[in-house]
Structure formats: C-alpha cells, structure tokens
Structure 1
Amino acid sequence: MAIKDQVAGRNRAGWLVVASFLVGALVAVALGAYGRTHTPTGRPLALIIGFSGMAPMKAWLATAAVALATVQLFSALWMWGRLPGCGRAPSWIVHAHRWSGTVAFLVTLPVAYHCLWSIGFYNYNMRAYVHSLAGCFFYGVFASKMLALRLHGVPGWLLPWAGGLLFAFILVLWITASVWYFSQVGSLLI
C-alpha cells in the first residue's frame, strides 16, 4: 500500500507541474497573440510618473525591477542555504523576498502595458523580437510560479527553477531594452 501511495503522490506531483506549465504557456501565448493582433496605438500612456517621457520611464522602471529581482535572487539563495558564507537566513528574509518580488512585479506592469498597448509584438529586428518573446515568457513563467506556490505537492525543484527563469527573462528584457536605450542616446525604447 505504501508504494502505491508513493506512486500516486509522484503522479499527482507530475500533473501539478504539467498544469502549472500549461497555465504559464497559455499566458505567454495569449500575450503574444494579443501583441500580434492588436493594432498598436503608437501613443504613450497618459501617465509618465514624473519622467521626461515614456522611454526613460520604461528604462528606469525596468532597471528598478532588475534591482528588485536581484534582491529576490539573493534572498532566495539565502533562504535555501545556497549563499556561501552567510549562514542561516534570518526570519525577516522571507518577508523581504516576498515584498521585493511583489514590488518588482508591480513595477513591470506599466512597462508591459505600454509595450503591448502602444507597440505590440515587435519582430522587425532581432533585438526587438527577442525582447517581445522574453516579455511573453516572463509573464508566462510568473503565472506558473505563482500557481506552483499555491499548489501542495509540487516537486522541490520547481520553485527554484521558475525563479531562475524569471530572473533570466527579466535580465534579457532589461538588456534588450533598458541597457540598449541607455547606450543609444535619444533612441526610442521598445
């Protein structure tokens, strides 16, 4: 009976992984489809939050999101005991991890909204194409990770992998837009 329960538990965990990946894939595909089929407005958002324009706002908000994602990375490594020389993580690190992730996600929303609404899925050059794909994948992986956090019985490797993918995609987004913008004085940001 115990072996049967173990097999059933593994099967359930496998289905949970598949379900979380499917939800993330649906989110990524839906964003990409919307970006391709929606007629871009070409207009900036009404609110640029005190910046001189939409491009600097997006570049700086994305930079803030990457800084917060770096806090996420190091706090996760510390919580999982993978940060050399730091010993056991203090109890407050869990709260720092959650809040830095929440704020990082919220900071990305005006950027993503403008990208989808004003520009759409841009595939006219490789940098912009990689950026558009990474944006869709970022929100897909985010949906998968948030779902996996709420499911019981997911394998222990799932959350660290999802977090690592999120960090990788936000870096790609930042490099293909913000870093590019900062290095191209006066360029448009996509």
Structure 2
Amino acid sequence: MADTQVSQVPRRQNLAPLLMPLAVGGLIAVGLGVYGRVHLPTGYAIGPAGFSGPLAMKAWLTTGAFVLAVVQLLSALVMWGRIRLEAPWIGTLHRWSGRAAFLLTVPVAFHCLYALGAQFDAPRVMIHSLLGCFFYGVFTAKMLALPRRGLPGWTLPVLGGLTFTALTGLWLTSSLWFFTTIGITL
C-alpha cells in the first residue's frame, strides 16, 4: 500500500529582507530618545497658529492623526479582506490617510523633542516619551519594508498594527489627558 500523504515540511521564512528596515527603525527610535534626553529643552518650539497654546495644538493635531489612524486600520482591514467591501479606491484612501496622519504628527514631535525633550519623571510623560520614539521607529521600519519583496506575509500587518498601537498610546497619554484635565479648547 503506497503512502498517498505528502509530508508537510514547514517552509522557512526568509527574515533577512526585514533586518534592514528593523535596524534603521530601531536606530531612529533610539536616536530620538537620546536626542530628547541630551538636548536642553527650550520651552518653546513653534507658534501654535490658530490654537490657544502649544498643548492645545498638540492635542488637536494628535487627535487628527489618531482619527486618520483609525481610517488606516479600517482601510487595511478592507485591503486584507477582513472587511468585505467593494471599494477600488481603498488603497488610495489608505495611502493618503497615512500620509496626512504622519504629517500631523511632525509639528507635535518637533515641539515635544525641541521644546520639552524626553522626560521620565512622571509615569504618563515617560510612557508618552517612549511611545513617541517607538512610533517613529516602527513607522520608519514599516515604510522601509513596504517596497521590499520576499518579506513574510505577516510583516506589514504587524508593523502597521504596532504603528497604530503606538499612535493610540500617544493619543491616550496626551490628547485624552489634555481634554480630560484641561478641557476641550482650541
């Protein structure tokens, strides 16, 4: 009697193409953290045009980035077939909402690093500082992984999920804190 079963040998995934994006992302995260710690904070970075102050500016821009990150999550779920929706424009929505979300974070990060620096004296602020560094590191890794071929199928969902999680944590430790402590002001 011949054995008709084909043996199932697990296929090895080549992680080498992922090393460079992860290494560069790690360097970005560490570099931002080191800069934030060694840079003497100025207390002032950019004028909060249209806002009552820098904290309000940061809270609202981060809220905008967070809302766009939710759009990113939902559009990614559609693109990966987890939400059934016939939407040929979903890839364009995903790319542009990601670009806009990132752009909204830039003045916030600039103000945080230049004016305040990385701070570790209070738990909320320490978590926020670490998440900010992690966000830019994992975002960099995701962007560098996008054009690479031969990556394991889980790479982009994991990096995208980590980016979303980091931005959610940033929103919780900054904008939500601002709105519940200071109030909803422009």
- TM-score using structure 2 length: 0.89
Q: CA deviation at 1:154?
A: 1.1
The residue identity in structure 1 corresponding to 2:16 is W
Amino acid at match of 1:184: T
Shift of 1:44: 3.9
- Residues 163-190 of structure 1 show CA distances to partners (whole Å, capped at 9, x for unaligned) of 100110001000001100111127xxxx
The residue aligned with 1:23 is: 24
1:23 alignment partner AA: V
One-letter amino acid of the structure 2 residue matched with residue 20 of structure 1: P
Residues 48-87 of structure 1 deviation map (CA, whole Å, 9 limit, x = unaligned): 131111110100000000000000000000110112xxx2
Structure with the higher helix share, 1 or 2 = 1
1:50 alignment counterpart: 50
Instruction: Specify the alignment match of 2:175 in structure 1.
Output: 178
- Does 1:155 find its partner at 2:152? yes
- Gap runs ≥5 in structure 1: 1-5
| Counterpart among 96, 99, 116 of residue 102 in structure 1 | 99
Stretches of structure 2 lacking an aligned partner (at least 5 in a row):
1-10
Q: Provide the rounded CA distance (Å) in 2 between the counterparts of 1:35 and 1:57.
A: 20
| Equivalent in 110, 115, 120 of residue 118 of structure 1 | 115
Amino acid across the alignment from 2:106: L
Structure-2 separation of matches of 1:185 and 1:72: 29
Distance 1:102 1:20 in 2: 19
> Partners in 1 of 2:110 and 2:19 — Cα distance?
28
- Residue 145 of structure 1: aligned partner: 142
What is the root-mean-square deviation in Å for CA atoms of aligned residues? 1.3
Cα deviation code 1:98-140 (max 9, x no counterpart): 0000000000000000000000001011000000000000000
For residues 85 and 70 of structure 2, what CA distance do their matches in structure 1 show? 19
Amino acid at match of 2:72: Q
Query: 1: distance between equivalents of 2:54 and 2:35?
Result: 21
Q: Counterpart of 1:121 in 2: which secondary structure? A: coil
Alignment correspondent of 1:3: none
* Aligned amino acid, residue 178 of structure 2: Y
1:77 aligned residue: 77
Give the conservation status (yes or no) of the 8 Å contact 1:79–1:89.
Answer: no
What letter corresponds to residue 120 of structure 1 in structure 2? Answer: G
Which moved further from structure 2: 13-22 or 123-132? Answer: 13-22
Matches within 5 A, 1:3-22: 10=13, 13-22=14-23
The offset of 1:43, in angstroms, is 1.3
